[in-house]
């Protein structure tokens, strides 16, 4: 079963071709697995080898080109014709003498595309410098241009079905966060809490089975809470520790991130002071978000809110979020920061994470939001507060924070 109606895929193809025409691109080589999924439905853990979706501006059907052993997966998960699935043999995989882009270039030459303007996704994790060099050398008559973020920009405004998938992801995120918080006690190791979060992220809920998130749980504790991208260790929690949990629910490859900060016993004076400042800033931003406001205007509201307390934030406040594959759940388009003048439109979705990090402590409280016709809504419904845990409490059995 395809995750979307065939008409939705065709509309996505149409929008992508419109952007190709704006950039004078005849052939777009799509190698980002999220963009491949978005346009074709292809969904497999095969992005560790070279693969691509070829979108030709005057052809109705894209081509999938990938590894031979993955071809059946492409036929099973995509809406494109079986004859448009083209496979290269395994001698091209991790070889010192062959490269998959040689094979792909030969296909493009054979179908008469070797002398056209070809767009490639220049700046993402799955398209290497060697891949680009190989294409250029094998297609000397082609003109190569950047097709970077072209599909990502189409993805920014979500369809109603995409929003429903994110609602499912939100339920998974709430459930994983609940179990993560409720597993925090004095003497419990970070890795044990990460295991609880990971289990419930994948198990999901009775209604929504989970998928693997594009990022593993972030779980720094103690002084390491000032280091935002640490995962977990075997360190055991101590009385007085603060713990940051940043996770995401994932459903049908759509993500809803959620972050909260937990303290075992009374919080430090610094953390106790900063928490209400962060929450106040969050609520001011959520009240202001609506269609027509820009990302930079959102950042200004936050900046002014915390500035009166003597604080400032160097990093961006958030980013467009939704569909993705490892290593990131962000969409790499709009960011909530001072110099981003992206205008918000209905059904844009953002992870709003105005965290503050200092040398020896930090705090994260985040919300994933949808821009509505008149304002915004949060996907999750989880206490927006610094969560205080009794280090000697027993786990909750009633679905609430114990």
Task: Tell me the per-residue pLDDT of 175-193, one tens digit each, with 9 for 90 and over.
Answer: 999 999 999 999 999 999 9
pLDDT tens, 107-118? 999 999 999 999
Residue 399: predicted pLDDT: 53
10 Å CB burial of residue 77 (0-12, 13-18, 19+) is: middle
Helix, strand, coil tally for the chain in percent (to 5)? 35, 20, 45
Whole-number Å distance between alpha carbons of 285 and 395: 34
CB 376 within 8 A of CB 370: yes
pLDDT tens, 328-338? 999 999 999 99
Query: 371: which strand partners?
Result: 376
pLDDT tens, 61-80? 999 999 999 999 999 999 99
Q: Is the pLDDT of residue 195 over 70?
A: yes
pLDDT tens, 13-57? 999 999 999 999 999 999 999 999 999 999 999 999 999 999 999
Q: Is the pLDDT of residue 400 over 80?
A: no
> Mean per-residue pLDDT for 233-245?
96
Q: Are strands 387-389 and 254-264 parallel, antiparallel or unpaired?
A: parallel
Query: 349: which strand partners?
Result: 370
Tracing tokens 């966060």 back to the chain, one arrives at: 177
Q: Is the peptide bond before 327 cis (omega within 30 degrees of 0)?
A: yes
> Mean per-residue pLDDT for 343-370?
96
Chain-centroid distance of CA 343 in Å reads 20
Give the C-alpha distances (Å, rounded to integers) separating 342 from 290, 293, 334: 13, 8, 6
Whole-number Å distance between alpha carbons of 87 and 69: 8
Residue 275: predicted pLDDT: 97
pLDDT band at 392, cuts 50/70/90?
low
> Mean per-residue pLDDT for 130-154?
98
Q: Is the pLDDT of residue 266 over 70?
A: yes
Residue 50: predicted pLDDT: 98
Domains of the chain, earliest start first:
6-155 (3.40.350.10), 160-397 (3.90.230.10)
**Closest C-alpha to 6, from 73, 63, 81:** 81
Residue 390: predicted pLDDT: 86
Residue 398: predicted pLDDT: 52
pLDDT band at 305, cuts 50/70/90?
very high
| CB within 8 Å of 238: residues ≥ 6 apart | 186, 222, 264
């Amino acid at each position: 079963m395809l995750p979307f109606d065939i008409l939705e895929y065709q509309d996505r193809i149409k929008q992508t071709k419109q952007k190709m025409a704006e950039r004078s691109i005849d052939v777009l080589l799509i190698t980002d697995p999220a963009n491949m999924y978005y346009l074709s439905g292809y969904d497999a853990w095969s992005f560790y080898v070279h693969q691509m979706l070829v979108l030709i501006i005057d052809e109705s059907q894209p081509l999938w080109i990938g590894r031979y052993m993955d071809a059946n997966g492409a036929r099973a998960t995509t809406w494109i014709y079986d004859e448009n699935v083209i496979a290269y043999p395994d001698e091209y995989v991790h070889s010192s003498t062959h490269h998959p882009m040689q094979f792909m270039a030969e296909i493009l030459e054979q179908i008469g595309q070797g002398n056209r303007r070809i767009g490639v996704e220049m700046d993402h994790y799955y398209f290497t410098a060697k891949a680009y060099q190989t294409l250029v050398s094998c297609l000397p008559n082609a003109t190569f241009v950047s097709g970077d973020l072209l599909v990502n920009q189409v993805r920014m405004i979500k369809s109603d079905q995409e929003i429903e998938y994110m609602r499912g992801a939100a339920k998974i995120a709430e459930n994983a966060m609940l179990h993560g918080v409720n597993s925090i006690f004095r003497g419990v190791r970070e890795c044990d809490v990460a295991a609880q979060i990971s289990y419930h992220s994948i198990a999901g809920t009775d209604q929504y089975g989970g998928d693997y998130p594009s990022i593993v749980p972030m779980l720094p504790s103690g002084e390491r809470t000032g280091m935002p991208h640490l995962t977990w260790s075997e360190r055991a929690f101590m009385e007085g520790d603060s713990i940051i949990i940043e996770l995401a629910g994932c459903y049908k490859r759509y993500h809803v991130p959620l972050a909260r900060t937990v303290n075992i016993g009374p919080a430090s004076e610094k953390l106790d002071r900063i928490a209400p400042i962060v929450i106040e800033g969050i609520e001011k931003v959520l009240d202001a978000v609506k269609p027509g406001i820009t990302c930079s205007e959102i950042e200004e509201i936050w900046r002014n809110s915390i500035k009166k307390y003597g604080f400032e934030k160097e990093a961006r406040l958030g980013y467009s979020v939704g569909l993705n594959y490892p290593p990131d759940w962000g969409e790499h388009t709009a960011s909530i920061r001072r110099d981003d003048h992206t205008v918000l439109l209905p059904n844009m979705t953002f992870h709003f994470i105005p965290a503050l990090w200092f040398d020896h402590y930090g705090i994260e409280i985040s919300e994933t939001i949808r821009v509505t016709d008149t304002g915004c809504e949060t996907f999750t419904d989880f206490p927006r507060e610094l969560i205080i845990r009794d280090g000697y409490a027993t786990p909750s059995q009633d679905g609430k924070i114990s």
